[in-house]
Amino acid sequence: MADGQRPPDRTLEALLKEDRRFDPPGDFRRLAHVTDPAVHAQAEEDFLGFWASFATELDWIREWDRVLEWEPPHARWFVGGRINICANCLDRHVRGPRRNKVAIVWEGEPGERRTLTYWDLFQDVCRFASVLKSLGVRKGDRVAMYMPLIPELAIAMLACARIGAVHNVVFGGFSAESLRDRISDSGAKLLVTADGGYRRGSIIPLKRIADEAVEACPSIQSVVLVKRADLPVDMRRGRDHWWHHLMEQATPECEAEAMDAEDMLFLLYTSGTTGKPKGIVHTTAGYLVGVYATTKWVFDLRDEDVYWCTADIGWVTGHSYVVYGPLANGATVVMYEGAPDWPRRDRFWEIAERTGTTVFYTAPTAIRAFMKWGTEHPARHDLSRLRLLGTVGEPINPEAWVWYYKHIGGERCPVVDTWWQTETGQIMITPLPGITSLRPGSASRPFPGIRAEIFDDEGRAVKVGGGYLVLSRPWPAMLRNIYGDPERYVKQYWSRFSGVYFTGDGARVDEEGNFWLLGRVDDVLNVAGHRIGTMEVESALVDHPAVAEAAVVGIEHEIKGTAIAAFVTLKEKSAQPGDEAGPPSAAGQALAEQLKEHVTKKIGALARPEVIILTADLPKTRSGKIMRRLLRDIASGKALGDTTTLADPAVIETLKQKYEEAG
C-alpha cells in the first residue's frame, strides 16, 4: 500500500483470527424484506432494472426516460425525470394512513421532549419553505445550516428540498473559521443557526460563533435563528430574524418544486488529502432512490419500527439515515440532541427503552465507550424491543461487535456493519439482515446492484486478498462533483485507476466474498468516526506563530479508534522547548497545550491532537520530504521500517526517545 495511513495492527490481527459466525434468528429470517439470497444475482443480471424497481415505489412528477447515462466519470440517473424529495418524505405520507403517524420523537439534552407527526412536520416544513422564499431564497441558492440536533434542522433541510434550494449543513462542533470557509466556498445566501445547543451539560454558543464566521462572508444576506438555549444574542437589524417570529407569520401553503432528477440537493463538506475540505455535490433523484432502497433493506424497516440513528445531522449519516432515508420510508425517527453520558451513562438506553426503539444505528467509537463504561448501564433498561443493530463510520473490532451483539442486542438482533462514505451518499457494503451470515469485523458484501472490488497497485482485481477498495460501477446516490472544482473531482476519485472510483480505503476480501475494511490508505484520519485530513491539522499548527513545521499521524486509541499525534518543530532555533533531551519541560508542556487549543480554535474540538511532540528536527529524505511512515512507526511503538533514505538517521533516535518520554 502507499505511504498513507495504515490500519491499526490490532485490527488486522484480530480480523485475521476472527472466524465466528452469527446467522439471522429464524423469526427475523422469515419476516425480513429480503429472504432470498438470489437478490444479489438478480440485481447483477439487470442492475438498472434493480434500481428502477425501487424508483417506481416513489412519487414522480414526471417519469424518467433513461435510468442511467454514464460517461465516466460523470453519471446522470433517472434522466428526464422530475421529482421532489420533500414531497416523497412528507406529502406522500400525509395523503395516506401515515398522516398522524409519529415522524420524529425528539429529546433535548436537558430532557425536553417533542413529538411531531407527519402532518405536523409537513406543516412546519411548508411554513419554513415559505419563510425561505420570503427572504429571497430561490431554486439553486445555497443555504447554510449550523445547528444543534433539533427538529428545526430537519425542517430547514426539507424546506430547502421543497423549493429547490441547496442545503449545506455544517456540523455544530466546527469552529468559526471552518464554518466561514464552508459558507464562503458554497456562496450561501442565508444561514440558519440557533442561539446555542446543549452538549454534556454546557451550552455551545452557536450564534456567537456564527457571527464571527459571517463577518467574513459577504454572500450571507439573512440569518435565521432558532431560540433553543435562551442565550443572550446580538441581533443584527435587517439581517437576523427569529425563527419563531417568521414561522408565526408564514403560510403553510407551499407547492413542492418539480426538480429535475439531476438538480443539486445538497452540498456537504468533507476532508480530503489537502488542507481544503471538499464540497461534495449530491443531486436529487438518484440520491433519494439510493437512500430509500438501502434504508428499507439494510434496516429491514417496517411501519411499526421505531428507528434511531444516533449520528449528528451535520454528517452524511445524519443526512441519509436520520432525515431522508427513514422519512422517505415513512418511519418513526428518534432524535436526541446531546451526549450519551449526560447526565448518566445510561442516557441512550433510557431513551431506547422509553421510545421503544426497535432499530438502533450507531458508531464503533460509541460502542467502545459503552464497553468501557460497563454492562450495568444497558442492563438497567428493558431493551427487549430492539430487533436490529447497526454500525457505521469506522472499522469495528470484533470484540466491540460481539459486545454490542450480546449486551445491547441480547444475542437476538443481527448487527449490520455498513461501509460507505460522504461521497457514496448511501450504504454500499453491508449485510442484509435476513440472509447474511454475520462475521464480526466484516461489512460482508456489496449491496445488490453495487460492484465493489479490491485492486492491487497496478489496478488488477484481487479475487481473494488485500488491496485498495474501488467501486467499479456507478450507483444512484453517488457524488456528482466537488463543488466549484471539477478537476479535483476527477483527480481525487477517478484517476488512481482509470474509470473506477477510488475510495481511499484499504480492504481485504475473503474466499466467501466478504469484505473486511482496514481503514484509510491516504492522508485522511478517521478520529472517532470523524474524517479529518492530516494536512488540515498540519495547516492549523503551522498557522501558530511559534511553529515552523508540523507532521501529523494517526495513533491507536482505545475508544476513538484513531487519535491524532503531531510532531512539531519551532521557528526560533535557539533554546527552544523542543531542543532539550529528556522529558518535556514545563515550558514545552505549556506550549503543547497552547497548540492543542490553537487547532481546536482553527478547526474544532474534533481535530484536537492527543499528543504533541516538540522536536528540533523531523525525519526527512535527502530531498527534504518528511517521512511520515517513520513517524507512524515511532508513534505506534513499532520497529522502524526502512530508514535507508533518511537524510539524518540520528533524528529518529532522538524522536523515539522523546515520544516514549512524553508517555
The x, y and z cell numbers of residue 125, run together, are 416544513
State the nearest-atom distance from the C-beta of 544 to ligand PRX, in Å: 26
Q: Which of 159, 204, 223, 316 binds ligand PRX (CB under 6 A)?
A: 316
Looking at residues 427 to 466 of the shown chain, list those that interact with ligand PRX (rule: CB under 6 A): 443
Candidate list 395, 434, 446, 619; residue touching ligand PRX; CB under 6 A: 395
DSSP string, 434-445: TT--B-TT--BE
| Cβ contacts of 61 within 8 Å, gap of 6 or more | 82, 83, 84, 258
CB of 327 to ligand PRX, least distance (A): 18
- Out of 185, 353, 394, 453, the residue judged to bind ligand PRX by CB under 6 A: 394
Distance CA 504, CA 153 (A): 30
Ranges within 104-123 binding ligand PRX (CB under 6 A): none
- Quick check: 157 and 145 in contact, CB under 8 A? yes
Type of residue found at 331: A
CB of 418 to ligand PRX, least distance (A): 5
Q: Binding to ligand PRX by residue 562, rule CB under 6 A? A: no
Selected from 294, 418, 442, 444, the binder of ligand PRX by CB under 6 A is: 418
Task: Name the residue nearer to ligand PRX (CB basis): 8 or 196.
Answer: 8
Stretch of 103-111, 170-178, 414-422, 577-585 lying at the interface with ligand PRX (CB under 6 A): 414-422
> 460492484: which residue's cell?
451
Closer residue to ligand PRX, CB minimum distance, 152 or 312: 312
Q: Which residues pair with 90 in a beta bridge?
A: none
278 makes contact with ligand PRX (CB under 6 A): no
Closest CA to 59 of 22, 26, 92, 105: 92
Residue 283 as a binder of ligand PRX (CB under 6 A): the answer is: no
Identify whether the C-beta of residue 661 lies closer than 8 Å to the C-beta of residue 36: no
Q: How far is the CB of 271 from ligand PRX (least distance, A)?
A: 8
Give the nearest distance from C-beta 429 to ligand PRX in angstroms: 7
Grid cell of 545 as nine digits: 506563530
Amino acid at 654: T
Question: Contacting ligand PRX (CB under 6 A), which of 309, 517, 618, 634?
Answer: 517
Q: Are 297 and 284 in contact (CB under 8 A)?
A: no
Residue with Cβ nearer ligand PRX (280 or 627): 280
Q: Please say whether the beta carbons of 425 and 283 come within 8 A.
A: no
520 scored as a contact of ligand PRX (CB under 6 A)? yes
Q: How many CB atoms lie within 10 A of CB 201?
A: 11
Asked whether position 505 contacts ligand PRX by CB under 6 A, the answer is yes
Among 414, 434, 504, 588, binds ligand PRX (CB under 6 A): 504
Q: Name the residue nearer to ligand PRX (CB basis): 481 or 503.
A: 503
C-alpha grid cell, residue 93:
405520507
Q: Are 191 and 223 in contact (CB under 8 A)?
A: yes
Q: Give the residue with the Cβ less far from ligand PRX, 81 or 398.
A: 398
Selected range binding ligand PRX among 28-36, 230-238, 241-249, 502-510, rule: CB under 6 A: 502-510
User: What is the full DSSP assignment across 633-658?
Assistant: HHHTTPPP---TTBS-THHHHHHHHH
- C-beta closer to ligand PRX: residue 220 or 443: 443
Nearest distance from C-beta of residue 15 to ligand PRX, angstroms = 11
Q: Is 317 in the site for ligand PRX (CB under 6 A)?
A: yes
Rank residues 321 and 659 by Cβ distance to ligand PRX and give the closer one.
321
Q: Which residues of 13-46 are buried (b: 16+ CB within 10 A; e: fewer)?
A: ebbeebeeebebeeebeeebebeeeebbeebeee
CA distance 424 to 321: 13
Instruction: Considering only the stretches 3-11, 220-228, 244-252, 514-522, report the one whose residues sit in contact with ligand PRX under the rule CB under 6 A.
Output: 514-522
CB of 59 to ligand PRX, least distance (A): 27
Q: Are 555 and 527 contacting, i.e. CB atoms less than 8 angstroms apart?
A: no
Among 88, 117, 365, 526, binds ligand PRX (CB under 6 A): 526
> Which of positions 253-272 make contact with ligand PRX (CB under 6 A)?
270
**Residue 539 contacts ligand PRX per CB under 6 A:** no
Q: Rule CB under 6 A: is residue 170 a binding residue for ligand PRX?
A: no
Instruction: Using CB under 6 A, count the residues that bind ligand PRX.
Output: 22
Alpha carbons 636 and 367: distance in angstroms, whole number: 23
Helix (H, G, I), strand (E, B) or coil at 201: coil
Minimum CB–partner distance for residue 513 and ligand PRX (Å): 16
Q: 305: helix, coil or strand?
A: coil
> Three-state SS for 48?
helix
Distance in Å, CB of 520 to ligand PRX, minimum: 5
Interatomic CA distance for residues 663 and 655, integer angstroms: 13
Q: Which three cell numbers stand for residue 184?
A: 464562503
The residue (of 98 and 319) whose beta carbon lies closer to ligand PRX is 319
CB-nearer residue toward ligand PRX: 345 or 560: 560
CA torsion sign for 307, 311, 312, 315 is: negative
Nearest-approach distance from CB 523 to ligand PRX, in angstroms = 13
- Rounded least distance, CB 421 to ligand PRX, Å: 4
Q: Which stretch binds ligand PRX (CB under 6 A): 70-78, 143-151, 444-452, 498-506?
A: 498-506
Enter the C-alpha cell of residue 420. Answer: 460507505
Measured CA to CA, the distance from residue 637 to residue 659 in angstroms comes to 9
Tell me the window of 14-22, 370-378, 417-425, 587-595 that interacts with ligand PRX (CB under 6 A): 417-425
Cα-Cα-Cα-Cα torsion 47, 49, 50, 52, nearest 10 degrees, comes to 120
Cα(170)–Cα(181) distance, rounded to whole angstroms? 10
Show the CA angle centred on residue 428, arms to residues 424 and 430, nearest 5°.
150
18 binds ligand PRX (CB under 6 A): no
DSSP-based three-state secondary structure for 249: helix
Cell of 229: 438555549
Nearer to ligand PRX, 443 or 482 (CB): 443
Q: Which of 310, 421, 444, 539 binds ligand PRX (CB under 6 A)?
A: 421
Does residue 392 bind ligand PRX (CB under 6 A)?
yes
Region binding ligand PRX by CB under 6 A among candidate stretches 105-113, 388-396, 407-415, 494-502: 388-396
422, 490, 462, 96: which is closest to 266 by C-alpha? 422
Indicate whether 419 belongs to the interface with ligand PRX (CB under 6 A): yes
Instruction: Please provide the DSSP assignment of 385-411 as one string.
Output: T--EEEEESS---HHHHHHIIIIITTT
Q: Which residue has the cell 481535530?
A: 607
- Candidates 244-252, 286-294, 447-455, 517-525; binding stretch for ligand PRX (CB under 6 A): 517-525
> Measured from the CB atom, is 560 or 658 closer to ligand PRX?
560
Q: Is 417 in the site for ligand PRX (CB under 6 A)?
A: yes
Q: Where on the chain is the footprint of ligand PRX (CB under 6 A)?
A: 270, 316-317, 392-395, 417-422, 443, 503-505, 517, 519-520, 526, 531
